[in-house]
Amino acid sequence: MDADLARPGDRPRVLLTMGDVAGIGPEVVARACVDPLVARECRLLVAGDATILERSLRLIGASIRVRSVASPADFAAGDEAEVACWNPLDETLATSVRDVQPGRLDGRAGRAAYEWLVAAARAALEGSVDAIVTAPLNKAALHLAAVDYPGHTEILADCCGTPNHAMMLFVPPGEIVHSPHGLGVAHVTLHTSVASVPGLLSIDGVWEKIRLVGDFLRQIGAERPRIGVCALNPHAGESGLFGDEEARIIAPAVARAVTDKIDATGPIPADALIRRALGGEFDGVVAMYHDQGHIPIKLVARDAAVNITLGLPIVRTSPSHGTAFDIAGQGKASAEGMIAAIRVATALARQRSPVPQMGEAPRVR
């Protein structure tokens, strides 16, 4: 993937959503907009509020100008000394969101983050941009705004009409991951309680995530991706002593994938599998639930891990961190995760064909 990042030619058009403005989203977006590496590789447009973006640029001591545009189609001819900002909010919300205080839960910030995300998804579906990169939103703020979704992944899947999708944390190859293609860790279940996970697992669901991971890895150059599948229970159930989900659900799903000529192995106890994957034995991992995949990857990779939504007809990535209310508005936030997400989105956009025009607008709530 690094070779693609350095390839000359037209720079992909990448749309950044501002996320929850009470968090560090506006600051990491601002820092990415003035990063010289990002400027060489892609053209950025921000879906957010120009006034808030200007504040964030001043916070980090940047002098670049902000230019408001009426639509994503209008930003291509912009000056390199300015950043284009598109705000699809209605005037009432656009005005009120500027009063949101850093570090405070606010339904106005949740509503704005949702509206920017939906507008960004539409722009990507229409082909106005080549990829979207999303700054963090806050799930409690979404709830305060009466937005009935647990997070980005589910909103985007609904907008794109994609029932089969997955969240994947991707770590590019390097000192952390020794597979030549990097390591992708996808999740069978996502934003749900741990208690609900066993009842949500199915043979079809596990198999589908194996397939999605394999498709992604082939897209980035792995001819025969090696995919390890996590067990749910300690010691892979210890022959049924600690649970039977491995025998009833996970093993049959792996067997089905193997029949489909996918190089899948499992179920393997998660602690052993992640260690083997980091050492280069696997290119992809399928975890059964959110923390099973997130904790080890965030522990070893931190901001190098990029969140990618699999199964969408558009390219979408994000940094793997959250809104970080505790440091919002203080000029302390690192943009390393946002820049990594932009670089991965740029590489994926270069590998894709243009997105066809959609017959219908995305379904939103």
DSSP letters, 201-239, are --HHHHHHHHHHHHHHHHHTT-SS-EEEEE-SSGGGGTT
Structure tokens that stand for 328 in this block = 């919002």
CB-side neighbour CA atoms (13 Å) of 158? 16
Quote the pLDDT of residue 2: 46
- Digits of tens for pLDDT over the chain (365 positions)? 543 443 445 789 999 999 999 999 999 999 999 999 999 999 999 999 999 999 999 999 999 999 999 999 877 655 667 999 999 999 999 999 999 999 999 999 999 999 999 999 999 999 999 999 999 999 999 999 999 998 899 999 999 999 899 999 999 888 899 899 999 999 999 989 999 999 999 999 999 999 999 999 998 889 999 999 999 999 998 899 999 999 999 999 999 999 999 999 999 999 999 999 999 999 999 999 999 999 999 999 988 899 999 999 999 999 999 999 999 999 999 999 999 999 999 999 998 744 333 223 233 33
Strand partners for 183: 171
CA distance 294 to 185: 8
φ and ψ at 259, to 5 degrees? -60, -35
Per-residue model confidence (pLDDT) at position 48? 98
Closest by CA to 203, choosing from 192, 186, 213, 188, is 188
The residue written with tokens 């741990």 in the block is: 194
DSSP letter at 158 equals H
Domains of the chain, start order: 1-162+312-365 (3.40.718.10), 165-309 (3.40.718.10)
Paired residues of 65 in beta bridges: 82
DSSP 292-319: HHHHHHHHHHGGG-EEEEET-SS-EEEE
Return the closest-CA partner of residue 56 out of 83, 75, 38.
83
Please list the residues that pair with 319 across neighbouring strands: 306
Q: In this structure, is the dihedral angle defined by the CA atoms of residues 85, 89, 93 and 95, taken in order, positive or negative?
A: positive
pLDDT reported for residue 76: 61
Q: For helices 251-259 and 203-219, give the axis angle rounded to 10 degrees.
A: 50
Distance CA 156, CA 119 (A): 11
| pLDDT at residue 236, rounded to an integer | 92
Q: Quick one: tokens of 21? A: 């403005």
- Which amino acid would we find at residue 306? V
- State the pLDDT at residue 362: 31
The C-alpha atoms of residue 23 and residue 98 are separated, in whole angstroms, by 13
Class of residue 265 by CB neighbours under 10 A (exposed 0-12, middle 13-18, buried 19+): middle
Q: In angstroms, rounded to a whole number, what is the distance separating the alpha carbons of residues 86 and 341? A: 20
Of residues 217, 229, 118, 215, the one with CA closest to residue 173: 217
Phi, psi of 140 (to 5 degrees): -70, -35
Q: With 0-12 CB in 10 A as exposed, 13-18 as middle and 19+ as buried, what is 163? A: exposed
Q: What pLDDT score was predicted for residue 5? A: 41
Tell me which residue has tokens 């696997």: 282
Q: Are 110 and 145 in contact (CB under 8 A)?
A: yes
Which of these, 102, 86, 78, lies nearest to 49 by C-alpha position?
Answer: 86
Dist CA 106 CA 108 (whole Å): 5
pLDDT at 78: 53
In this prediction, residue 316 carries a pLDDT of 97
Element (H, E) at 22: none
